[in-house]
Amino acid sequence: MANNPGAKKAIRKIARRTEVNKARRSRVRTFVRKFEEALAAGDAAVAKTAFVEAQSELMRAVTKGVVHKNTGARKVSRLAAALKKLDAAAA
């Protein structure tokens, strides 16, 4: 258990950061889910806009330190590949 003031403050700070990071992670998941739903519906135009939003949200999570840089890049790459596959199927 934390016995000194510095350790107690660190616990408070960690709790605050955890809440913020949970919200950010949830936001990323929401945007990715919207993209995947548009993909499943086969709507290329909606999927394209959803992709742009999901990509910017993922990269924002990377800059905020919620997601590692390579993880963000990998997820964006997979989303882009899925979008490209949808475009190829539509053409």
The DSSP letter of residue 91 is -
Q: Tell me what pLDDT residue 29 has.
A: 97
Dihedral angle of Cα 43, 49, 55, 56, to the nearest 10 degrees: -160
Residue linked to tokens 């330190």: 65
In this prediction, residue 89 carries a pLDDT of 83
- pLDDT tens-digit profile, the chain (91 residues): 788 999 999 999 999 999 999 999 999 999 999 999 999 998 899 999 999 999 999 999 999 999 999 999 999 999 999 999 998 887 6
pLDDT of the residue at 1 = 76
- Structure token pair of residue 64: 């905020």
pTM of the model: 0.86
Name, in order, each residue with C-beta under 8 angstroms of 2's C-beta and a sequence gap of 6 or more.
Answer: 8, 10, 11
DSSP, residue by residue, 11-31:
HHHHHHHHHHHHHHHHHHHHH
